[in-house]
């Protein structure tokens, strides 16, 4: 349950996920943030292709329908509301998925009006293989956070789980191809740490409302 109140930092978690790994990381991040008293909104970026393309991948339509029933689509108002943004996308050929990037591109009006200035930003991802591009995806998002005027909050090595999982740039998990392995306990510990850390930094930086 999200804590409410004038002093609570507000965090927006925006993710795209097809198979559920990034979704699971997003919910663990929310848990960590809520443990610090943050008020959290979780939103899922929507598909950019129609059903005729989705039907070529078994299960895609079903997982999208399940997640879309659980999570609203992100809006500009969500981003303006938040003191911090946590952005998660699966790795696609070594880069963040286009669904997530397309949503980031809608933030132009908030960039123009400096509405995101001094809010915090942090990123997370999932790959198939452990060396399939986690860092490339996460670091590939950092320039966008900088352009949006966000203060980047990495994971670093502030939690013991980071010596066993994740990356210093953000939480990550590997799903091991057709095994479709869900994030491990250590992956989730890193994600919870990321949520908690971003909540603390957002709280410290946020301007009074």
Q: Which residues bind ligand FMN (CB under 6 A)?
A: 17-23, 90-94, 126-129, 132-133, 175
The residue nearest ligand FMN at its CB is 132
- Of the pair 34, 128, the CB lying nearest ligand FMN is at 128
Least separation in angstroms between CB 28 and ligand FMN: 13
- Of the pair 125, 155, the CB lying nearest ligand FMN is at 125
- Of the pair 84, 90, the CB lying nearest ligand FMN is at 90
Q: What angle do CA 122, 12, 136 make, to 5 degrees?
A: 30
The C-alpha torsion from 78 through 123 and 60 to 32, rounded to 10°, is: -80
The number of beta carbons lying within 10 Å of the beta carbon of residue 113 is 10
Least separation in angstroms between CB 163 and ligand FMN: 22
Number of H helices, E strands in the chain: 8, 7
Q: Tokens 């609203």, residue? A: 72
- Of the pair 122, 128, the CB lying nearest ligand FMN is at 128
Least separation in angstroms between CB 170 and ligand FMN: 14
| Residue 86 three-state SS | strand
Least separation in angstroms between CB 37 and ligand FMN: 28
- Single out the residue of 67, 79, 78 nearest to residue 22, CA to CA: 67
- Single out the residue of 95, 101, 100, 2 nearest to residue 43, CA to CA: 100
Least separation in angstroms between CB 178 and ligand FMN: 10
- Of the pair 17, 122, the CB lying nearest ligand FMN is at 17
């Amino acid at each position: 349950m999200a804590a409410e109140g004038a002093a609570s930092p507000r965090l927006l978690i925006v993710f795209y996920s097809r198979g559920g790994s990034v979704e699971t990381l997003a919910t663990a991040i929310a848990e960590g943030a809520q443990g610090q008293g943050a008020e959290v909104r979780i939103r899922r970026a929507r598909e950019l292709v129609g059903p005729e393309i989705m039907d070529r991948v078994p299960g895609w339509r079903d997982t999208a329908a399940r997640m879309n029933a659980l999570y609203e689509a992100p809006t500009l108002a969500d981003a303006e509301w938040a003191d911090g943004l946590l952005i998660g996308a699966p790795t696609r050929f070594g880069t963040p998925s286009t669904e997530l990037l397309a949503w980031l591109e809608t933030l132009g009006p908030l960039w123009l009006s400096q509405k995101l200035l001094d809010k915090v930003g942090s990123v997370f991802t999932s790959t198939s293989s452990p060396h399939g591009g986690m860092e490339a995806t996460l670091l590939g998002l950092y320039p966008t956070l900088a352009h949006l005027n966000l203060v980047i909050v990495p994971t670093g090595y502030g939690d013991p789980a980071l010596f066993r999982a994740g990356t210093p740039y953000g939480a990550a998990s590997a799903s091991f191809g057709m095994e479709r392995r869900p994030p491990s306990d250590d992956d989730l510990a890193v994600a919870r740490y990321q949520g908690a850390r971003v909540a603390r930094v957002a709280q410290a930086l946020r301007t009074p409302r």
